[in-house]
């Protein structure tokens, strides 16, 4: 049987499984475990250990049809300015609970489109964050940037606040594909943005691409890949298009008849991976590429790669505190998600409450499974020795699931006393294999496709 037929028979095209940027995944979070867990976990943070901070900006000037992110369109800055005021209040509430003088090792602004903020709001937000959290000497500050909604003044403001990494949205450069996803973005505009970022001293640039978009063909993809490589990014994220119109209603504007079929989609991912590896990038986890001297590639080679809500990272801060509507905090004892809709988030903050609306408190078994799934997503292997050193006898609860994975995926998975390892040919099945270790997989949630 051809390799692709074998992967298909094992569920590559039919399975719908999480992307495991957390375990358990957000659909498992419960309303009764929101604010109270957040209050406790914030108060219990270790004052000597730096935290990571995530800020969600749920606004865009345009709403691209393919986008599944939590955001809303606005042509006016007044709701954005009001939202910055709410973030300031939320930061002030949190500062009254956390240990004083907490340091910040990482800061990420995501969205939506953080670059919708004009320079004065960039400075206002940065000041409010740094009043609560003191950056460490080697802190990293990354920002998601829409090249069509940024200019030199905004870039200078971000650079002055310490931005060290920029993540630019590209998706695809082909005009037909861009038309079909409601996102016009000429190559020259993107190139100018990259030049402005480099001129402002930003040394690390990530480019987001998506395969599986309407009208993508190998010829069009080739052109996009050449254009992307001409911009010399340091990292590339190559996401499979998650078509989830029941969740992201704007995707209903996408004509499903124009989406590439299963095998074409698989071939597009392979074509892009080959081009990046030929250009000297190292493949990282299931969907990232990085220059070999990039910290992500170095971490991947030494099994130090981690996974969080922003995808792959070298961040080892044990707590990530999320601010803004829908943002998720990860604490040593569990996850808490802020109210997802902006009005509900604003209402909570204005009532003087914490914004956490749902969450999940981790048991020891959850921590064990979370680490095992993270190992699969990052290293394509479960290091059973490391798990038994960390979790002792508890690690034996994984045994039936490891056996199940070995039986289900045959020689694409090796299982012995030391490791469960995915064979390189089986890597397209990584999310599916990880899902075998998921004890919370909700029956009713509809995830995106496994490939």
Ligand X SMILES: C[S@@+](CC[C@H](N)C(=O)[O-])C[C@H]1O[C@@H](n2cnc3c(N)ncnc32)[C@H](O)[C@@H]1O
Q: Which residues bind ligand SF4 (CB under 6 A)?
A: 60, 62-64, 67, 69, 71, 111-113, 146, 169
In terms of CB distance, is 71 or 435 closer to ligand SF4?
Answer: 71
Task: Write out the H or E segment, with its range, that includes residue 106.
Answer: strand 103-111
Give 343's contacts (C-beta < 8 A, 6+ positions apart). none
Task: Using the minimum distance from each CB to ligand X, give the nearer residue, 66 or 281.
Answer: 66
* Residue 92 binds which entry of ligand X, ligand SF4, none, CB below 5-8 Å type-dependent: none
Q: Which does 63 bind (CB under 5 to 8 A by kind): ligand X, ligand SF4, none?
A: ligand SF4
Least distance (Å) from ligand X to the CB of residue 429? 19
- In the bound complex, what is the minimum distance in angstroms from residue 82's beta carbon to ligand SF4? 19
With CB under 5 to 8 Å by kind, the binding choice for 367 among ligand X, ligand SF4, none is none
Minimum gap (Å) between residue 327 Cβ and ligand X: 12
* Residues in contact with ligand X by the rule CB under 6 A: 60, 66-69, 110-111, 113, 144, 146, 169, 171, 208, 210, 239, 241-242
Q: How far is the CB of 412 from ligand X (least distance, A)?
A: 25
Task: Judge contact between 122 and 89, C-beta under 8 A.
Answer: no
Measured from the CB atom, is 111 or 212 closer to ligand SF4? 111
Q: Is the Cβ of residue 140 or residue 208 nearer to ligand X in the bound state?
A: 208
From ligand X, ligand SF4, none, interface partner of 90 (C-beta below 5 to 8 A by class): none
- Confirm if 160 and 125 have CB atoms less than 8 A apart: no
Contact 439, 428 (CB under 8 A): no
Residue 241 touches which member of ligand X, ligand SF4, none, C-beta under 5-8 Å by kind: ligand X
Q: Which is nearer to ligand SF4, 72 or 364 (CB)?
A: 72
**In the complex, least distance from residue 257 CB atom to ligand SF4, rounded to whole angstroms:** 22
DSSP 144-158: EE-GGG--HHHHHHH
Cβ within 8 Å of residue 62, ≥6 positions away: 73, 148, 149, 182, 183
| Positive/negative CA dihedral, 290, 236, 284, 392 | positive
Going by their DSSP bridges, the two strands 311-313 and 306-308 should be labelled as: antiparallel
- Least CB distance to ligand SF4 at residue 178 (A): 11
Which residues share a beta bridge with 111?
57
Q: Among ligand SF4, ligand X, none, what does residue 210 contact (CB within 5–8 Å per kind)? A: ligand X
In angstroms, rounded to a whole number, what is the distance separating the alpha carbons of residues 230 and 244? 32
Residue 307 tokens read as 């996974």
Give the DSSP letter string of 200-214: TT--EEEEEEEES-T
* Owner of token pair 């939590």: 70
CA distance 57 to 115: 9
Q: Cβ closer to ligand SF4: 71 or 164?
A: 71
Look at the alpha carbons of 424, 426, 432, 435 in this order and tell me if their dihedral is positive or negative: negative
Q: Which residue, 111 or 324, is less far from ligand X as judged by CB? A: 111
CB of 143 to ligand X, least distance (A): 10
Picked from ligand SF4, ligand X, none, the partner binding residue 269 (CB below 5 to 8 A depending on kind) is none
Q: Which of 305, 315, 324, 318 is nearest to 362 (CA)?
A: 318
């Amino acid at each position: 049987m051809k390799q692709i037929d074998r992967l298909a028979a094992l569920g590559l095209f039919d399975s719908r499984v999480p992307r495991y940027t957390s375990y358990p995944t957000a659909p498992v979070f419960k309303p009764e475990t929101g604010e109270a867990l957040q209050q406790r976990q914030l108060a219990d943070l270790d004052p000597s250990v730096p935290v990571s901070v995530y800020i969600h900006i749920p606004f865009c000037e345009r709403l691209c049809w393919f986008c599944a992110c939590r955001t809303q369109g606005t042509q006016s800055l007044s709701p954005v300015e009001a939202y910055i005021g709410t973030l300031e209040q939320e930061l002030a509430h949190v500062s009254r609970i956390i240990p004083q003088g907490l340091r910040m090792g990482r800061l990420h602004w995501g969205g939506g489109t953080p670059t919708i903020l004009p320079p004065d709001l960039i400075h206002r937000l940065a000041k409010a964050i740094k009043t609560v959290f003191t950056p460490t000497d080697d802190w990293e500050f990354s920002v998601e940037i829409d090249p069509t909604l940024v200019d030199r003044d905004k870039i200078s403001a971000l650079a002055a606040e310490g931005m060290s990494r920029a993540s630019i949205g590209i998706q695809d450069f082909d005009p037909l594909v861009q038309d079909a996803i409601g996102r016009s973005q000429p190559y020259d505009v993107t190139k100018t943005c990259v030049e402005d970022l480099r001129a402002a001293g930003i040394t690390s640039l990530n480019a987001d691409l998506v395969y599986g978009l309407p009208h993508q063909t190998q010829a069009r993809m080739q052109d996009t890949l050449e254009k992307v490589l001409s911009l010399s990014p340091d990292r590339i994220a190559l996401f499979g298009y998650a078509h989830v119109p029941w969740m992201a209603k704007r995707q209903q504007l996408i004509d499903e008849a124009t989406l590439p079929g299963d095998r074409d989609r698989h071939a597009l991912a392979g074509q892009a991976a080959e081009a990046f590896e030929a250009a000297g990038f190292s493949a990282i986890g299931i969907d990232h590429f990085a220059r070999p001297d990039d910290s992500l590639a170095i971490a991947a080679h030494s099994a130090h790669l981690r996974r969080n809500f922003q995808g792959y990272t070298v961040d080892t801060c044990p707590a990530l505190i999320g601010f803004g509507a829908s943002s998720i905090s990860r604490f040593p004892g569990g996850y808490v998600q802020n109210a997802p809709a902006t009005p509900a988030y604003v209402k909570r903050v204005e009532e003087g409450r914490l914004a956490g609306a749902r969450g999940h408190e981790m048991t020891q078994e959850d921590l064990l499974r979370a680490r095992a799934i993270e190992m699969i997503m990052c290293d394509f292997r479960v290091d059973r020795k490391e798990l038994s050193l960390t979790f002792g006898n508890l690690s034996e609860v994984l045994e039936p699931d490891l056996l199940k994975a070995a039986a289900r995926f045959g020689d694409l998975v090796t299982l012995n006393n030391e490791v469960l390892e995915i064979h390189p040919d089986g890597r397209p099945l990584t999310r599916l294999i990880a899902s075998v270790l998921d004890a919370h997989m909700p029956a009713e949630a509809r995830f995106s496709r496994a490939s």
